[in-house]
Structure 1
Amino acid sequence: MAESDWPQQDLSMRNYPFTPLLCFIFMLILSPAAYPDSSKNSGSIHIDVIDAKTQRQIAGASFSVSAADSLLPQNSQPPHSSANNITLPPGLYQVQVFHPQYQTVIAPSVRVVKGKTTSLSLSMIAARSDTETLVVYGDQSRLDSLTSAGARYFDRESLRSNAGSGSDILRALDGLPGLFSSGEFASYTVRGNGPRDNLILVDGFPFANIVHFDDSFGELEDIEGGGRYSVFAPNLINGATFQPGGWSAAYGGRAGSLLLLDVAKGNSQTASYSARLDLAGIELGYDGPSNIHADTSLLFSARSQDFGRFFETIGLEDIGSPKNTDIIVKTSSRLDQNNDLELLFIYAPEKFLRDIDNVLASDEDEPGNYTDIELEKSATENYLLGATWTAHTDSNARWTNRLYYRYFEQTASSGEAYPDLVPIDTPAQQIPVRDNIITSSRQEQEIGLRSDFTRWNRFGEFNAGLRFSKTNLDFDISLAGDWQRFEYDSDDFRADPNQRFIVLTPVDVNSSLHDSNNLYSFYTDQSFEFDNWQLRSGIRLDHDSLADETILSPRFSASWRATDNTKLVLTAGRYNNAPRFNDRAAAAENRRLKHELTDQISLGLSYLFRPDLELLLEPYYQHQTKLIVEADRTNRIRENSGTGRSWGVDTALIKRFSHGWSASANYSYNQAKVQDAANQPYYAADFHRPHSFSLGGVWEINERWKLSSRWKWASGTPADGYVIYANVLGEGQPLRFAKENISNNSDRYQNFHSLNVRLDYRRTFNPLSVIVFLDVINLYGADNPLSSEFNPRSGENNIEEGQILPILGVRLEW
């Protein structure tokens, strides 16, 4: 296919391969402090201490700094320093923060770099007079005490150290209780729900398209898996808060889990530059003062990746050529003592091409047996611009307003090549093809406001907020003539019941959606604090103008601290899954699809053997109604006719980072079943895994070497029962086989198991630090199929083979 076949957008930065480099050069010119002062033989730590509730700075805190491999006993009296800036030789340190009115907080691993100031922000929880002094880790102090016991917080260092992350933030979440990630895709499933059921907010903004290559007419497993690569590298995210259930009334729109990503702020003290190179591409970054406003810091990152070259290197060239660029800019400004302003810009275009050369590469197992004949091309524009103003209206109140604009545009087409109809040595340009069989265009323009108010009163914490968004939708799907498909369900329409294939027709497939959708939400909740009890009751109201539907969602949680080390948390509430715009645009009958509803309840136990060692046990139950079901793939009509239920238990033993290492062992049991209509039987949900187990950890061997690994085992995902028919087109026609799915998820793929290993090596050559890393996903190449690919030319139902995915890279920091 010629480049001219692509949907053209001449002003797109996607058309300039050196955009990240040019942006970086601009940032270098902007900053007068491109290099650190090499005359300094030490570095420093700048510590900001804030109240975990009010988010205001705490005065009067004192600090203790020690070597990172020696955890001070809880009852020791270390030397204190009251200065927020502490000068130290380069190395790894543990920082403890003390205050008479707060629980002591530990940051177990803080790196000091020569000539640099490391900024550290720690949250402290108010101490209770009825208990002895407690020591908590920094991640614990950032969690809502009235959410699910399985909630976890990952800081920046934890995210970029996790084995199998593949330089991707969503893969870095692997190892959390109740969460499963195969490693092949930048996605995860939670408690039997699908990857698209997870609510993800970036700095509090809804950024629906956080994953690249997940929404075009690509491979089926791409769509099921939720996408190949996310927009964010782990180094860009300062912290990630994950909740498998039980979140407050402030959040809605998805029911599977909640993930809050906080984009890192620029270092307000000293400037740092970075360059990262791996087999897929290059990433350039700046982190430091803006040099425009004294109280404004800047974070800048530009990444360009060409996975086509990477796939060729590891022998997977049949996948195609995905290319993407990610440019992220964030400024953080202190306007005055009570007001802060943050600006966030994300630009994440992508391009995908699968041409005849990729088709011909799909016969690697047997010459002439082409397993995938799809021709695909797509081009996408994707960006977000957001502003966050936080005002501390008085000592007991905070008001946060977020205004944002989101734009997404995609043009895509899919066709087929027929190399089996000509001799095996036929030149590529002479192979018959049918281009642009199905084409689509999609445009979303959204503007929104999110306002949250918090006040601490004599009962506890009061919250109220509103959400408004208006999304203009322009969707078009067009089929150029009838299209025979050789994989189908038994209940898909066929004019002749004896016909062993289905035919997609323009009459049934062609569809357009040109409309706007207004979403209004309001929520409020109040917490009540007693001696050993905390309660929170809330309500959320959502209105969807396109569905003409109003949803009322009550939320409740209670926490009981039975002892200083033991806590029980009960959560209950209603949550909703908004219909995807793609589903609404697929057919005119889908415009008024309603929200899926999930009623959840969980009871969690958390027990601390010591501050760094925790045991978790959390059973849960979910009841689902109004599930969206596709009744017939020939006409693409969906209905809210499904129901479901999911129940199970998550367990974990977590050793937080101390003495130079951390580890966790997780086991989850789940039963998730759905039915398509009231009169039909229940069957296993698409992402149901009855058992899953993982064991992993991080070992900081010394200041230079770090090793992390994780081994996972899980039950296989469900698979449809099927039969295969031969010569379905009849005599005198090309030989074609057909696969008829005769039962929903009645079978199951083989058990999943995988070992991921990551090794980091760091060396400093003043003023440059060099970090070399090797991250290997699926080290021993286990076969872990998530789906199968039917080959109508051979009649084979191919189960994907296991692949070792090595990612070798170098990161430079100065």
Structure 2
Amino acid sequence: MKKRSKMKTCLMVLLFSVASLMSFAQTTGNFKGKILDQSTKQPVVGATVQIDQTQLGATTDTTGVFTINNIPTGTYGVTISYLGFQTKNISEVIITSGKTYYSELEILEAVANLNEATVRAFKGENNLLTPVSTFSYSREEIFRNPGAQGDIMRALGSLAGVVSSGAQFSAIAARGQGTQDNVYMVDDIPMFNLSHLEAEGFNSGFNDPNGGRFSIFAPRIIDNVQFQNGGFDAVYGRKSSSYLGLGIKEGNKATWSFAGQFDLLGATLIADGPVSKKTSLFASGRYQNFGLLQRMLDQQNPVSIGFGDYLIKTTTELNAKNKLSVIAMYNPERPRRGIDDIDTDYNINDDNSGGTILFNHEGSKALVGLNLRTLIDSKSYIKNVLYFRSSTVDNNFGHFTPSLDEEGMVLDPRSGRYEDDLRRIKNDQMEIGYRSIYTKRFDKLTITAGLDAAVVNLDYERSLKRIDTVYSFRNTDLRPSPGQYYQILNPSQYNSSFDNSAFNGSGYVAVSWKIANGFTLNPSIRYDYTGFTEQHTVSPRISGSILLGDKQSINFASGIYFQDAAFSDLAGQSAANKLKNERTFQNILGYKYQFSGDLKLVVEGWHKQFDDVVVQPNRVQSYLHNNGTGYAYGADLSLTKRLSQSWYGTASYSYMESQRDDHSGLGAYDYTFNIPHNFSILGSYKPNNKWIFSGKFRYSTGRPADIYTLHSNVLNNPDMLRYSQEITEVNGRRLPDYVSLDMRVDYNVPLKKGMFSAFVDLADINNQFNVNSEVFIPNTGGVYRVGLGVFPTFGVRVEL
């Protein structure tokens, strides 16, 4: 009785405390920030900052700083205006009790003939330097994206011309190219990749095209996103498909806040505030584990999956002209599936069964970077970036040979041979780099010039401990005799070891020239030296915009893009076999109509020609060459209602064709990411400051898959029955279409000093199993399908 009484007393105290925090909550907060000219980074003096639908506002002082005090708690739109500049709208400024919301904001110079009272500029948009294929997300828009769980890579999958690998994968592929072809920049620092759980070595020990499953950034870490789906200028290179620039949130310079999110997958903790008068800090830590979710979904033989993301960033105003940011990131991961994880009484042909594969993966990514921005004079500035980044991968793959019944049900997983170290992939990469980028604005001309220099070290090892048999092959692959319906994977042809360093250097110049009223041309040129391929390349590019009135414009881009050969491909070659960089020639023509300040229509057609594409003549050999060619073309349509007041939404449709030819005798074929039809519609509604409702529907044509002939008892041994698949047409058929309906609900309650939030985020609530790929099973002659059905998560977030 005493224990029950104490428990009741504790519960009453807890409920009373929560109620007190809510009922006696302060009712006002503050908004402070700094307004800069985006093209020169100079402070804007005299700009007006207005809290929408209120009488509250302020004007920036001689340092570009403004302060608005005693704002009632809630979520507001903010309008920033200044003569000669585009009016800028900030969609979601969240005023919290007893806190100061701080943000450094940039505004763009007004565009001639464009009604600046009509257009509200978002990050990177309506910028004549990036006239084509440019999209942006705010921090709140990323978080609201249903089914994405705050993951930026999953949020990008709803953009026009962008497809994810599908289902459980989140990596993006843009306009007929692959997941490895995108430029990734984080605070102006180039990154190897941005994903966890990339299955390097899964496909018979060679690269898997699907990319990773989750981004390395926890929710609310990314402050702004700029994505350009091709046509980017010469400032960026070494990849040829798209440009993704991510800005990590800077620490609040006015007040401290601490936040914790706890959900079905794990926990995230964030600290954000001033360290001194000149320095602010933003730090976060996240750990994710999928054990609870897998038990909730009643998955058989769940894979052990865990990863972490740890980040710290400091920002210091050294003086009026110099701003220094320091960032450090560490992202470890360790998924595994051992023989002890395998249960009896499951069918190895079932979806996501994993077949007979065992694996143990250890990997991590790390980054340390310094970014110094210096104002030289009122019209120019320079950015100097020094960074170190690394990526480590240690993958071990094996398999087991269980006893099965006639339907493929496992009777005993340990009945035959099992080993977890048949193949090993070690891929350690390190890079020390420096970037210097200078920008100067004249009356009708803006010039950007820069250089990049980096030393890359690659320590790569691929090993096979014994001869293995491969039961999936193309009919053009070499075999000792036509009647041998399998291939032998020999260590002498598979194993490779590479440990070397190389220098990469780049120089570039980009010009934005206002030739006439309403006509802007952006020529640029880039030079690259790639040390591992010992290749010099020159990439001329051009883009432009022609205004047709105060609401519409014609935009275009054309250029050559060279892409460095993948490190893992380079490491597997003999010294005599030098791979070349792949070459892409792309053209884009688009039309944009700005219906209102927050509603626009963009239609674009595009074409790409691929040359010197790296191909693998024989799937069981490391030897590669550049004999591949191809092309891709398509059209994208997007209608975007930006986040302002209570509504936000997008609707997009893409048509795409992408063909490759390896010149191997099988002819041209559909590329892995040839998705002819892709449709997405997203909407979010906020009826009041407590509730947010969001939904997203996605449809796309199914991924290409091989046509094959099935052969049985290929070893001519009934006691060791094996099947094989002879691929007769590469990607000659299609997997089922992708269909997904995602829903998200957020509920927010103000506290005395902070906010309490609860959310439910349901991906694929229609529970259609969306297939990403098929994996052949020699033991049964069937396939198991890699994919995902419903993916739920829910949790709470507390900010103090």
**TM-score, normalized by the shorter chain, greater than 0.5:** yes
Report the Cα offset of residue 311 of structure 1: 2.3
Inter-partner Cα distance in structure 2 for 1:586 and 1:692: 36
1:657 and 2:643 aligned: yes
SS in 2 for 1:515: strand
Q: Is 1:471 the equivalent of 2:448?
A: no
| Alpha-carbon distance in 2 for matches of 1:371, 1:407 | 30
Greater shift after overlay, 99-108 or 506-515? 99-108
Residue 330 of structure 2 corresponds to which residue in structure 1? 347
Bigger mean CA offset, 343-352 vs 482-491 = 482-491
Unaligned runs of 5+ in 1: 1-34, 69-77
Question: CA offsets, 1:117-146, max 9 Å, x none?
Answer: 111333222235756542433415655323
- Matched residue, 1:516: 501
| Displacement of 1:424 | 7.7
Deviations 1:778-797 (A, max 9, x none): 11111321211212111113
CA distance in 2 between partners of 1:239 and 1:280 (Å): 24
2:359 counterpart residue number: 376
1:400: which partner in 2?
A: 383
Match of 1:139 in 2: 122
Superposed counterparts of 1:765-776, under 5 Å: 765-776=751-762
Which amino acid is 1:417 matched to? F
* TM-aligned CA deviation for residue 367 of structure 1: 9.9
**Preserved contact between residue 561 and residue 568 of structure 1 (Cα < 8 Å):** yes
The one of the two structures with greater contact order (alpha-carbon pairs below 8 A, sep at least 6) is 2
- Aligned AA (1:230): S
| Structure 2 CA distance for aligned equivalents of residues 734 and 430 of structure 1 | 13
For normalisation by structure 2, the TM-score amounts to 0.91
Q: CA contact under 8 A between 2:384 and 2:437: conserved in structure 1?
A: yes
Whole-Å separation in 2 of the counterparts to 1:424 and 1:713: 33
2:242 to 250, 254, 257: 257
SS of alignment partner, residue 142 of structure 2: helix
- How far apart are 1:751 and its partner, in Å? 1.7
Structure 1 residue 554, shift from structure 2 partner: 0.1
The residue matched to 1:312 in structure 2 has which SS? helix
Q: How far apart are the structure 1 equivalents of 2:121 and 2:111?
A: 18
- The amino acid of 2:562's aligned partner reads N
- What is the count of residue pairs matched by the alignment? 768
Measured after TM superposition, the shift of residue 320 of structure 1 is 1.3
Find 1:303's aligned residue among 283, 286, 295.
286
1:274 and 1:79, CA in 2 relative to 1: closer, same or farther beyond 3 A?
closer
Note closer, same or farther for the CA distance 1:312–1:536 as it changes in structure 2 (3 Å cut): same
CA distance in structure 2 between the partners assigned to 1:94 and 1:631 by the alignment:
57
Aligned amino acid, residue 193 of structure 2: N
**Aligned counterpart for 1:271 among listed residues 235, 256, 259:** 256
1:312-711 paired onto structure 2 within 5 Å: 312-318=295-301, 320-360=303-343, 363=346, 372-420=355-403, 432-529=417-514, 530-588=516-574, 592-677=578-663, 681-711=667-697
User: Residue 735 of structure 2 aligns to which amino acid in structure 1?
Assistant: Y
The match for 1:101 is 84
Q: Is the 8 A contact 1:171 1:183 kept in 2?
A: no
Is it true that 1:207 corresponds to 2:191 in the alignment? yes
For 2:410 and 2:637, the matched residues in 1 are separated by 56
SS of equivalent to 2:212: coil
Measure, in 2, the Cα distance between the counterparts of 1:353 and 1:800: 17
The one-letter amino acid of 1:95's match is V
Q: Deviations over 1:233-276 (max 9, x none)?
A: 23100011000111110000111111001111011111111111
* One-letter amino acid of the structure 2 residue matched with residue 165 of structure 1: A
Q: Give the partner amino acid of 2:192.
A: A
**Does 2:229 correspond to 1:244?**
yes
Percent identity over paired residues? 29
Q: Where do 1:123-134 residues align within 5 Å? A: 123-127=106-110, 132-134=115-117
Q: Deviations over 1:534-589 (max 9, x none)?
A: 11111100111211111110010111111010111110111122111111123426
Offset at 1:152?
0.7
- Following superposition, the deviation at residue 675 of structure 1 comes to 0.7
Q: Is this contact kept in 1: 2:615–2:662, CA < 8 A?
A: yes
| Residue range with higher mean Cα deviation, 795-804 or 425-434 | 425-434
The amino acid that maps onto 2:685 is: W
How does 1:786-797 map onto structure 2 within 5 Å? 786-797=772-783
Contact 1:317 1:361 in 2 (8 A): no
Q: What RMSD, in angstroms, separates the aligned Cα atoms of the two structures?
A: 2.5
User: Paired residue for 1:22?
Assistant: none
Deviation at 1:803, TM superposition (A): 1.1
Distance apart, 1:513 and its partner CA:
0.7
Distance 1:487 1:678 in 2: 17
The 3-state SS of whatever aligns with 2:293 is: helix
Letter in 1 for 2:178: G
Displacement of 1:365 after TM fit? 7.7
Q: Does 1:60 align with 2:46?
A: yes
SS at match of 1:349: strand
Partners of 1:540 and 1:553 within 8 A in 2 = yes
Question: What is the distance in 1 between the residues matched to 2:672 and 2:414?
Answer: 40
Q: Which amino acid aligns with 2:146?
A: A
What letter matches 1:176 in structure 2? Answer: L
Query: How far is 1:725 from its partner?
Result: 0.8
By how many angstroms is 1:312 displaced? 3.1
Which secondary structure does the structure 1 equivalent of 2:771 belong to?
coil
Match of 2:218 among 233, 246, 251: 233
Distance 2:25 2:269 in 1: 26
State the distance in 2 between where 1:233 and 1:79 align: 33
* SS of match in other structure, 1:454: strand
> Taking structure 1 as reference, are residues 679 and 730 closer, same or farther at Cα in structure 2, changes over 3 Å only?
closer
SS of alignment partner, residue 58 of structure 2: coil
- Matched to 1:653, the amino acid is L
Report the counterpart of residue 783 of structure 1 in structure 2: 769
Of 169, 177, 183, which aligns to 1:193? 177
Equivalent-residue separation in structure 1 for 2:381 and 2:143 (angstroms): 32
Contact 1:164–1:183 under 8 Å retained in 2: no
What is the SS of the residue equivalent to 2:208? helix
Tell me, yes or no, if the aligned pair for 2:309 and 2:329 is still in contact at 8 Å: yes
Counterpart residue number, 2:58: 81
Instruction: Give, in whole Å, the separation in 1 of the partners of 2:610 and 2:725.
Output: 31
Unaligned stretches of 5+ residues in structure 2: 1-20, 61-65
Instruction: Name the CA distance, whole Å, in 1 between partners of 2:297 and 2:202.
Output: 21
* Structure 2 Cα separation of the partners of residues 213 and 757 of structure 1: 25
**Matching residue of 1:753:** 739
Asked if the contact 2:401/2:413 (under 8 Å) is kept, the reply is: no
The change in CA–CA distance for 1:517 and 1:209 in structure 2 (over 3 A counts) is same
Q: Counterpart of 1:171 in 2: which secondary structure? A: helix
Contact in 1 for aligned 2:124/2:136 (Cα 8 Å): no
Equivalent residue, structure 2, for 1:29: none
Q: Is the 8 A contact 2:702 2:735 kept in 1?
A: yes
Question: Could you state the TM-score of these two structures normalised by the residue count of structure 1?
Answer: 0.90
Match of 1:8 in 2: none
Deviates more, 1:615-624 or 1:774-783: 774-783
